[in-house]
C-alpha cells in the first residue's frame, strides 16, 4: 500500500524532499498517549490559544477532514535522525516565546516574485527566495544555540517557481488531503504543511529563522506556518499571507472583527466563508487562516489543488546535500 495517496507526482516528489530534509528531529515519540503535563494556564493570548502552551501537533494526523488535525496525503513517518527536543517543548505543549531561532540576517537582493492574473489563472512566478525579507544563516552555524537542537545542514538556493492557480477558486465536491507543499506565500516563499518527516509538529520541533523559514535538502526555503516577517498591521481582518494550491487565500490570524482565530472558529480544513476583498472586489468567498494552533495553515483542501512542480529542477542550488546528521 502506497503511503502517497496523491496522484500528483510532482508534489509527491517534493514531499519526499520535504521528508528528507525535515527529518532531523529527535527520537520519535508519536505513539505517546500519556500526558505528563496538562495545560492549566489560563493565559489567553490568541483565540483561546496560549502562546506559551500551544498543544503539540505530533501525531495529529487524520484520514478525513478533522478539526485540529492535518489530513496528510503522506501517512508514513520516514527519515529521521537525532536531535533533541528543545527546552521550549513541555510534554504535550510548546512555548512559542521560549523557542530559539537560527541567527543571521542574510539579504537576497536577487529575490524575484510576481503575481498576475491571466484569464482564469493566477500566475505565480519567482525564484523561491523571500521578497522583502531576510533569512537566517544556513547551514545552521555550529556555534549557535539553534545548532544544539537542530543541525539542519542545508543551504538556501534559487529555483524556478511557477504555479498557475484558479483565480476564482470554487469548492470541490469533497475535501482532499494536504500534500507536503500546500501553498505559496506572498513573499514568494513556498508553504509546506505542518508536519516534519516524522509526522511531528514541524512548527514546534524544527528550528527556523526569524522569519520562520528554513531550507530542505534540495535548498528550497520554506515555511510550515505563519511567518513572523509577514506584515499584517491593523485591527480588522488579516491581510493575505499566501495562496493555497487550490487557489483560495490563506490569511493571517485575525477574523472579521479583528479577533484572533483558533481552530474552534474554523472548519476542518482551517478555513471559513465570509466577505473578503479578492482582487480588489468584495466577494463572499471561502478562505483559510493561519493561526498559532496546529495545523497552523491548511488542514486539508476545500478546493481542487493544482499539480505542484517539484522545485529545484531548474536553477542552481538544487543539489542534494548530505542528510541530517544521525
Stretches 16-24, 94-102, 170-178, 239-247: which one binds Zn ion (CB under 5 A)? Answer: 16-24
Which long-range contacts (C-beta less than 8 Å, at least 24 apart) are formed by 279-283? 279/117, 279/167
Q: In the bound complex, what is the minimum distance in angstroms from residue 249's beta carbon to Zn ion?
A: 9
Stretches 22-30, 72-80, 131-139, 313-321: which one binds Zn ion (CB under 5 A)? Answer: 22-30
CA 310, CA 123: separation in Å to the nearest integer? 16
Within 8 A by CB and 6+ apart from 2, the residues are none
Question: In this structure, is the dihedral angle defined by the CA atoms of residues 29, 71, 192 and 74, taken in order, positive or negative?
Answer: positive
Which long-range contacts (C-beta less than 8 Å, at least 24 apart) are formed by 41-46? 45/260, 46/253, 46/260, 46/262, 46/291, 46/292, 46/293
Do strands 93-94 and 89-90 pair parallel, antiparallel, or not at all (unpaired)? Answer: antiparallel
Instruction: Pick the closest to residue 194 from 309, 146, 183, 271 (CA basis).
Output: 183
Question: In this structure, is the dihedral angle defined by the CA atoms of residues 94, 97, 101 and 107, taken in order, positive or negative?
Answer: positive
Stretches 19-27, 87-95, 136-144, 171-179: which one binds Zn ion (CB under 5 A)? Answer: 19-27
Which residues lie across from 223 on neighbouring strands? 191, 213
Stretches 18-26, 27-35, 94-102, 292-300: which one binds Zn ion (CB under 5 A)? Answer: 18-26
Q: In the bound complex, what is the minimum distance in angstroms from residue 39's beta carbon to Zn ion?
A: 25
**Between residues 22 and 146, which has the closer beta carbon with respect to Zn ion?**
22
Q: In the bound complex, what is the minimum distance in angstroms from residue 142's beta carbon to Zn ion?
A: 20
Q: In the bound complex, what is the minimum distance in angstroms from residue 288's beta carbon to Zn ion?
A: 9
**Between residues 53 and 89, which has the closer beta carbon with respect to Zn ion?**
89
**Between residues 22 and 181, which has the closer beta carbon with respect to Zn ion?**
22
**Between residues 50 and 212, which has the closer beta carbon with respect to Zn ion?**
212
Residue with cell 506556518: 225
**Between residues 53 and 285, which has the closer beta carbon with respect to Zn ion?**
285
Q: In the bound complex, what is the minimum distance in angstroms from residue 213's beta carbon to Zn ion?
A: 8
Locate 122 and state its grid cell: 493566477
Which residues 189-248 are close enough to bind Zn ion by CB under 5 A? none
**Between residues 22 and 189, which has the closer beta carbon with respect to Zn ion?**
22
By CB under 5 A, is residue 22 in contact with Zn ion?
Answer: yes
Q: In the bound complex, what is the minimum distance in angstroms from residue 36's beta carbon to Zn ion?
A: 26
Q: In the bound complex, what is the minimum distance in angstroms from residue 202's beta carbon to Zn ion?
A: 5
The number of residues that bind Zn ion (CB under 5 A) is: 1
DSSP three-state, residue 214? strand
Stretches 17-25, 99-107, 138-146, 305-313: which one binds Zn ion (CB under 5 A)? Answer: 17-25
Question: In this structure, is the dihedral angle defined by the CA atoms of residues 81, 84, 88 and 93, taken in order, positive or negative?
Answer: positive
Site residues (vs Zn ion, CB under 5 A): 22
Amino acid at each position: 500500500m502506497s503511503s502517497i495517496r496523491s496522484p500528483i507526482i510532482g508534489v509527491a516528489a517534493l514531499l519526499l524532499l520535504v521528508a528528507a530534509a525535515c527529518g532531523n528531529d529527535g527520537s520519535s515519540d508519536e505513539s505517546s498517549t500519556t500526558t505528563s503535563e496538562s495545560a492549566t494556564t489560563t493565559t489567553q493570548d490568541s483565540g483561546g490559544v496560549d502562546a506559551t502552551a500551544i498543544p503539540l501537533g505530533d501525531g495529529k494526523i487524520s484520514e478525513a477532514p478533522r478539526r485540529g488535525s492535518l489530513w496528510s496525503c503522506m501517512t508514513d513517518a520516514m527519515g529521521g535522525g537525532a536531535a533533541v527536543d528543545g527546552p521550549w517543548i513541555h510534554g504535550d505543549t510548546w512555548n512559542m516565546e521560549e523557542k530559539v531561532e537560527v541567527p543571521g540576517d542574510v539579504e537576497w537582493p536577487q529575490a524575484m516574485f510576481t503575481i498576475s492574473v491571466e484569464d482564469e489563472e493566477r500566475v505565480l512566478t519567482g525564484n523561491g527566495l523571500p521578497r522583502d525579507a531576510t533569512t537566517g544563516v544556513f547551514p545552521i552555524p555550529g556555534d549557535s544555540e539553534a545548532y544544539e537542537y537542530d543541525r539542519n545542514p542545508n543551504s538556501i538556493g534559487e529555483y524556478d517557481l511557477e504555479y498557475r492557480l484558479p483565480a476564482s477558486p470554487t469548492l470541490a465536491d469533497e475535501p482532499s488531503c494536504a500534500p507536503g507543499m500546500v501553498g505559496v506565500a506572498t513573499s514568494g516563499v513556498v508553504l509546506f504543511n505542518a508536519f516534519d518527516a516524522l509526522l511531528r509538529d514541524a512548527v514546534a520541533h524544527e528550528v527556523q529563522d526569524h522569519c520562520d523559514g528554513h531550507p530542505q535538502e534540495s535548498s528550497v526555503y520554506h515555511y510550515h506556518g505563519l511567518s513572523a516577517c509577514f506584515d499584517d498591521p491593523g485591527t480588522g481582518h488579516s491581510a493575505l499571507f499566501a495562496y493555497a494550491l487550490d487557489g483560495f487565500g490563506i490569511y493571517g490570524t485575525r477574523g472579521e472583527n479583528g479577533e484572533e482565530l483558533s481552530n474552534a472558529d474554523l472548519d476542518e480544513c482551517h478555513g471559513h466563508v465570509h466577505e473578503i476583498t479578492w482582487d480588489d472586489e468584495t466577494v463572499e468567498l471561502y478562505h483559510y487562516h493561519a493561526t498559532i494552533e496546529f495545523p497552523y495553515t491548511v488542514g486539508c483542501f476545500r478546493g481542487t489543488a493544482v499539480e505542484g512542480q517539484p522545485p529545484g529542477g531548474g536553477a542552481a542550488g538544487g543539489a542534494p546535500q548530505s542528510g541530517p546528521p544521525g
